Amino acid sequence: MKKQISISSIGSFSPLGKTSDEIWKNYLNNQHFFHLKGAGGDASWVGSLSEVQQKDVEDLRESDSKYRYLDNSVLYAILAARSAFKDLEISDLDAGINIGSSRGATGLFEKYHSEYIETGRSSTYTSPSTTLGNISSWVAQDLQLNGPEFSHSVTCSTGMHSVLNAIAWLESGMAKSFLAGGSEAPLTGFTLAQMKAMKIYATEDNEFPCRALDMEKSRNSMILSEGAGMVTLSSSEENNSLASIEGVGYANEKLKHGASLSKNGKCLQKSMKMAIGDLNVNEIDAVVMHAPGTIGGDLAEVNAIKKVFTDRLPAMTSNKWKTGHSFAASGILSLQMAVLMLQHQQFLPVPFSEFQQKPDKLEKILVNSVGFGGNAVSILIGRK
């Protein structure tokens, strides 16, 4: 790292809640936030927002006529960004924004495409409201920021790539502060069907339907979730910052197919080593893993950690058994989990996992994210 990068704040809007206190309280119990959507044999496990949060979304939609035709992925991002900025005294109106999404305006795209198939015509609102850049641009409009704003899609590691991009801008001196994150509203029939077609979706009805980090599971158990996560970063050293970013890593690996990941997670090995840098691996107290609940994905990441840390494994955990997989937002939610553990000095294990080792201290936590396309991002954060 060329400069000291501080995490000034984190805002999220997910099944875990919308405030830090609520989210931490929900992390402390062994309950998940899934329910069945649909009926009969077509019902699917999903991680959806609470009724209170859904009302927040509708209130936002009705608060401004310009918001009525925006996709939920944009509205979630606005609410998470407001949360991130709520407790900050923002004087830098030139702060940059980079918010990505894996799927983008899924709900609206499906709606407008269906209308086109039926009528042969498209709504006037189709093109502007389904454009991926909508997310960052509308957040910029809502917060009245004048800095650079852009969106991107790098599958499931999209949110963490936003952080990488923000750090590059900060280290270059082209910006002093940045809002980075991801937003996803994927709980549509078509998106669920895509995941089921890949044979990776949870089908069992038990106490914990997503078995992330259960290394004995015999079936895949990924569950889709919705929400948004935002982190504000600064290149200045702040006394009231939440944590510092001490290293970043990124890597790709050769693909066998579009959703492949090597048995030993080669891209994750590379990204973790890059993030750790010259530090002794024994200084890493814990890893918040991507661990989506698939047999191959969980095993590849565990194997990668064993390759990097060899004799002494750090404490390992994941939040997807509780929240599900929110694609672009998932990495930011993992980053938030790591920051909360540093703040509260309490490790959060997966209740049914064989990995129950608790660290002696929590000073440095590595956060992983990996996505389709064989790409990985690892970010090392340290306690302030």
Q: Which residues contact 174 (CB under 8 A, 6 or more apart)?
A: 148
For residue 259, pLDDT beyond 70 = no
Work out the average pLDDT over 27-35: 97
Sign of CA dihedral 145, 147, 153, 154: negative
Confidence of residue 372 (pLDDT cuts 50, 70, 90): confident
Q: Which of 229, 158, 186, 188 is nearest to 13 (CA)?
A: 229
62-117 confidence digits (pLDDT tens)? 999 999 999 999 999 999 999 998 867 655 688 999 999 999 999 999 999 999 99
* Two structure tokens written together for 325: 């997989």
Tokens 């389709």 map to which residue? Answer: 372
Give the integer Cα–Cα distance in Å for 221 and 219: 6
User: The pTM is what?
Assistant: 0.96
313-359 confidence digits (pLDDT tens)? 999 999 999 999 999 999 999 999 999 999 999 999 999 999 999 99
Give the integer Cα–Cα distance in Å for 350 and 339: 17
Give the integer Cα–Cα distance in Å for 383 and 159: 21
CA distances from 109 to 68, 179, 330 (A): 15, 26, 22
CA angle 376, 160, 294 (to 5 degrees): 50
Instruction: Give the 3-state secondary structure of residue 360.
Output: coil
Encode burial over 61-83: b for 16+ CB neighbours within 10 A, e otherwise.
beeeeebeebbbbbbbbbbbbbb
272-291 confidence digits (pLDDT tens)? 999 999 999 999 999 999 99
CA angle 213, 215, 219 (to 5 degrees): 95
- Give the pLDDT score at 368: 98
- Give the pLDDT score at 60: 98
For residue 17, pLDDT beyond 90 = yes
Rg of the chain (C-alpha set): 20
- Give the pLDDT score at 39: 66
212-255 confidence digits (pLDDT tens)? 999 999 999 999 999 999 999 999 777 789 999 999 999 998 87
